[in-house]
Amino acid sequence: MKNQITSALSDFFFEYETPRQVLVRNRRVGVVCRLIQLGVLVYIIGWVFIYEKGYQSTDTAVSSVFTKMKGVGYTNNSGGERVWDVADYVFPSQGDSSFVVMTNYIMTEGQSMGTCPELPGKHNCNTDADCEGGSFKRTGNGEMTGVCVNRTKTCEVLAWCPVEDDRDVPDPPLLLSAENYTLFIKNSVTFPAFGVSRSNLVEDVDSNYISSCLYHPLSAPLCPIFKLGDIIKLSGLNFQTVAKVGGAIGIVVDWTCNFDVHVKHCKPEYTFHGLYGSKEGSSVGYNFRFARHYMEDKIQKRTLLKVFGIRFDIIVQSLARKFDIIPTLTAIGSGVGIFGVATVVCDLVLLYLLPKREFYKNMKFKYTDTQVQDPDSEAGSTETDVSKK
């Protein structure tokens, strides 16, 4: 028993096994093998390393966005002149990455809490029985009192009176001057895996440049100041059409960087997308209501605005790459493993498709008779007649 264990350990540590290879001189199989290997090589170099950059590790950025609007608008609606500045037409005013610029509105002034008739079409009636007191209608403006107003043939409601009449949207939009407003975007990104921080105010963008530049995709692609009319145009929409009923624009700040070169080459690229505008449908554009409350003669009143505006969503997308030995070795190792496909395919062709497949089987495999053991034979077994042919 001791001798057997010693022999087994000696064989394990001091013997080396290698597979037997058979050289097959067959042009068709040789060409198939080389073509498959060439395809694998092209895949590894072209797709894995050049296109997918499998030799680099990747990271996405942590980012922050600040915005600032500038511009003044003027309206003269029904003889009432008014100047609109940033505090009036931007919602919210904190400079977030998502905000709305008002381009059109319906104003209902001097509303106070009381009873008044609904608008025609909201809840029509002929008698008081048609107006159920204490009930609400989803599209109504308040709680019904149970009274049918003969003058309008609509139900009386307890609400902010007079109720808003939004059936006619101003056309052309009241704040067409918004086309000339400017938007300043300040964006900072950090790639934690690589310890790199960047800002869209890159090396070429200083205070003198910012004071005079205006974004253009060709002549000024790094300028962080954008004219609203240019943004709408670059997104594929018409400004006057969108300004009437509102819409939404996506501004994408793309950081695609290669840190194998100098970090100064990591610069943002801006693209603009019309997310939704004024196409025909059951619900077009973008709007919301906003009220300003005040006291008059000890009575609480409000001015209600139905705001039609353009919503801007600033979206930061990023991908940074840098050489890393681990993904490089992984890509090379997987590529070498794929080379084994050529061997598998060629073996299938040799053993199952070619006319001399039986001959190649005899050359590739060595058959043994497990019932007869000859200690002097190779590998401790006796060859069968098939292997000796």
Question: Binding site for ATP, residues?
Answer: 68-70, 182, 287-289, 306
What is the C-alpha to C-alpha distance for residues 59 and 322, in angstroms, rounded to an integer? 9
Q: Given the structure tokens 């395919």, which residue do they identify?
A: 345
Binding-site members are: 68-70, 182, 287-289, 306
CB-CB neighbours of 242 under 10 Å: 26
What is the DSSP annotation of 184-236?
A: EEEEEEEETTTTEEEESS-TT--HHHHHH---BTTTBTT--EEEHHHHHHHTT
**Sign of the CA dihedral 115, 116, 119, 123?**
positive
Q: Which residues contact 295 (CB under 8 A, 6 or more apart)?
A: 301
Q: How far is the C-alpha of 279 from the C-alpha of 54, rounded, in Å? A: 43
Among residues 99, 88, 81, 92, the alpha carbon closest in space to that of 292 is found at 88
